[in-house]
Amino acid sequence: MPRETLNAGGRVAIKLNGAWYHPVADVVVESTGIEPEGVVNQDGSVQRTVKPKARRANITFRDYRGLSMDALVEAAGFDVTINEIDMKRRVLFSNAFVEGVLSRNTQNGEISGISVVSDQVKVVERV
């Protein structure tokens, strides 16, 4: 009987407004729209609170020709597809925008500080 392999991590490709890019570091996806927190009352009892939060993906890119940082931060309402190749999963951010302070490292070409934000996120598992 073949052993089922459980993958974790792996290669990622990202499609921004129709163009594919490959990040240079981890892509961190926050696909839930709530942030639960445990708080302690004055009598020592614990209570759970929940507040809404934006769904986002934090991405670090290499300095690609054609990836304009100005165009990226000025754009709104674009689609982002995060293709988790080895996990056979796609995360779709629709009508997204970029948040954060983008910076480019001239030594290694990394562009960091990018968060893609949307309230329309869908995770698609592929077989």
> How many CB atoms are located within 10 Å of the residue 72 CB?
18
For each of the domains in the chain, give its residue range(s) and CATH number, in order of start. Answer: 12-125 (2.40.30.200)
Give this prediction's pTM. Answer: 0.78
Q: Would you state the structure tokens that stand for residue 49, as one six-digit string? A: 């609170």
pLDDT at 24 over 70: yes
Return the pLDDT at 6.
Answer: 57
Residue range 81-115, pLDDT digits in tens: 888 888 888 999 999 999 999 888 888 888 888 89
Return the pLDDT at 63.
Answer: 67
Residue 53 and residue 34: Cα distance in Å, rounded? 5
Return the pLDDT at 126.
Answer: 79
Q: How far lies 35's CA from each of 8, 25, 70, 100, in Å? A: 24, 25, 31, 20
Reported as a pLDDT band with limits 50, 70 and 90, residue 66 is low
Residue range 26-59, pLDDT digits in tens: 789 998 999 999 999 999 999 999 999 999 999 8
